[in-house]
Amino acid sequence: MPTEFRNEPFTDFSNEENGQAMRDAIAKVQSELGREYPLVIGDERIKTEGKLESINPANHTQVVGRFQKATKELANRAVETAHETFQTWKNTSASDRADLLFRLAGLLRERKNEMSAWMIHEVSKSWAEADGDTAEAIDFCEFYGREILRYASPPPLTKIPGEENRLEYTPLGVGAVIPPWNFPLAIMAGMTVASVVTGNTVVLKPSSDAPTIAYKFFELLEEAGLPAGVVNFMTGSGAEVGDVVVDHPKTRYVAFTGSKEVGLRINERAARVNEGQIWIKRVVAEMGGKDAIIVADDANLDDAATGVVQAAFGFQGQKCSACSRAIIDAKVYEPMLEKIAERTQQIKVGDPRDPKTSMSAVINEKAFKTINAYIEKGQAEGGRLVAGGGSDGEQGFFVEPTVIADVKPLATIEQEEIFGPVLAVIKANDFDNALKIANDTQFGLTGAVYSADEGRLERARREFHVGNLYLNRKCTGALVGVHPFGGFNMSGTDSKAGGHDYLALFLQAKTIATKVGATTNASAEKSAAI
């Protein structure tokens, strides 16, 4: 039996040995940039005429990897192959599937710095952010491996005389796994291994902004002993590939993490019953957020300012859990704003390969333009720029960490998800008003409250309508097994990734009742003969 689950520790890069190991990994990855990678369907590696390139956001002249554009025919073939493979993979024992995940976790530990170095280049994560992403991927493997063993043990049922009853969990079938680029290893790995360990098969379509790290993970799956066809690797456009896989009548479920707009579109398409389909497709969706940190008038302002800035600007604010709104009581508004601005101005923006860099480029040109437009919009609607506001797109897609004060409730940047390093600061009349502002959004993913008053914290527990609420700490940094993650309203289906309920989303329960003492004549005759 495996030991009790423990979260993977983060790497201390102040240790020279660890720092040198990361520098070596970065050098190794740099020597492999620009390589071409195939589609993988079953045991076949496929190249197509159409190509797409993954670009380094911090140096948009640098190609990280070249990938194939799958056709509709290939996307259909991937689902058919996954369906065929499911007929045997579903019969693999839970313990064998768990062992696969434990071997995979071991390989990820061995290549921890290398996997992080790929993310440093492909999505401009800092050393610490990339290391945290890899650690979370390891956690998902270890946690879900243990979880499937728990699900494999029949749960207790109410006993009645004359019957033996049990409930067992069975896999669903073929899953379309559509992960985001912002946690290109952790979330992609988490949804994939949750599918695999529960006995399902997968068509994995990574984000076109982060396909290289997904392919490197796929190679580790193969090295860990995953049979061909259990996971099929598919790159291409959403319209050309994603829609085909979602719509296919043999696709049983869709696991998606990404924007609200795409998530709703997937949910709508999955709800249609296509010819030959004999089930209602299940959708597991984690979408956007417009997350707020409330700072009450009795809060420790230094702690609150540090938490707000870390949550707002970690990985350039490109987290669905990021603090994009700081709602501050009027009594402490100005001193709190000053502390936030001071800490924001200390953030070092630069090349993510530099260990001293704490913030780097945003993901692509479209995001760069959109974020800058929001900064302009925030000021045009009456916001006051107190930090940042600048950008440089000449070599990479760099946007300064930006704080806009005096933002009014219901203003554009107070309501719409920006997904970039922009913090809207709103003044609240009191704690009641702060809670009202925080809840007045279509989203409900994460939130935090800084206050020394237990009564206020208890009100937040009851009334702050988010899936992940944090008290006197930042609203980012959920740990597998510690903070099951998922949100309310337009933030998704509250799937609670990294929690004890998560694997149930990839399983269906079957109840089996057996009448005690009942045998057929043939069975009785056979028993007598023996």
Q: Looking at residue 394, which CATH number applies to its domain? A: 3.40.309.10
**Together in a domain, 322 and 256:** no
**Together in a domain, 220 and 234:** yes
Is the pLDDT confidence value at 529 over 60?
A: no
**Together in a domain, 391 and 459:** yes
Give the integer Cα–Cα distance in Å for 323 and 313.
Answer: 8
- Which helix H or strand E contains 20, and what residues bound it? helix 16-30
Q: What is the CATH number of the domain that holds 270?
A: 3.40.605.10
The answer to whether residue 227 sits within a structural domain is yes
Nearest 5°: phi and psi at 348?
Answer: -90, 115
End-to-end alpha carbon distance in the chain: 38
Q: Could you tell me how many residues make up the chain?
A: 530
Give the integer Cα–Cα distance in Å for 494 and 484.
Answer: 9
The answer to whether residue 123 sits within a structural domain is yes
Per-residue pLDDT of 91-148, as tens digits, reads 999 999 999 999 999 999 999 999 999 999 999 999 999 999 999 999 999 999 999 9
Residues 450, 470 contacting (CB under 8 angstroms): no
% of the chain residues with pLDDT over 70: 98
Residues sharing a CB contact under 8 Å with residue 68, sequence separation 6 or more, in sequence order: 37, 38, 39, 46, 47, 48, 50, 51, 52, 235, 236
User: How would you list the strands of the sheet with 59-68, edge to edge?
Assistant: 35-36, 59-68, 51-56
Per-residue pLDDT of 438-477, as tens digits, reads 999 999 999 999 999 999 999 999 999 999 999 999 999 9
- Of 315, 152, 112, 125, the C-alpha closest to 210 is 125
- Reading the block at residue 500, the tokens are 């004890």
**Together in a domain, 93 and 149:** yes
Residues 254, 67 contacting (CB under 8 angstroms): no
Strand boundaries in 269-343, DSSP class E? 282-286, 291-295, 323-329
Structural domain harbouring 51 = 24-287+492-511
Give the integer Cα–Cα distance in Å for 317 and 134.
Answer: 19
Tell me what pLDDT residue 120 has: 98
Averaged pLDDT, 216-232? 98
**Together in a domain, 257 and 139:** yes
The answer to whether residue 516 sits within a structural domain is no
The domain total for the chain is 2
**Together in a domain, 257 and 347:** no
The answer to whether residue 391 sits within a structural domain is yes
- Reading the block at residue 235, the tokens are 């790159």
**Together in a domain, 225 and 338:** no
Residues 196, 231 contacting (CB under 8 angstroms): yes
CB atoms within 10 A of CB 162: 9
The answer to whether residue 527 sits within a structural domain is no
The answer to whether residue 48 sits within a structural domain is yes
**Together in a domain, 382 and 356:** yes
Averaged pLDDT, 167-189? 98
Catalytic residue numbers, as ranges? 286, 320
Exposed/middle/buried for residue 52 (C-beta within 10 Å: 0-12, 13-18, 19+):
middle
Give the integer Cα–Cα distance in Å for 370 and 278.
Answer: 42
Tell me what pLDDT residue 239 has: 81
Residues sharing a CB contact under 8 Å with residue 93, sequence separation 6 or more, in sequence order: none
Residue type, 451: S
**What letter would DSSP give residue 369?**
H
**Together in a domain, 144 and 128:** yes
**Together in a domain, 219 and 70:** yes
The answer to whether residue 528 sits within a structural domain is no
**Together in a domain, 267 and 299:** no
Tell me what pLDDT residue 522 has: 53
- Of 158, 182, 180, 155, the C-alpha closest to 167 is 155
**Together in a domain, 165 and 254:** yes
Residues sharing a CB contact under 8 Å with residue 111, sequence separation 6 or more, in sequence order: 220
Averaged pLDDT, 272-280? 97
Q: What does the buried/exposed string (b/e) look like for 447-478 if buried means 16 or more CB atoms within 10 Å of the residue's CB?
A: bbbbbeeeebbebbeeebbbbbbbbebbbbbb
Tell me what pLDDT residue 154 has: 86
The answer to whether residue 520 sits within a structural domain is no
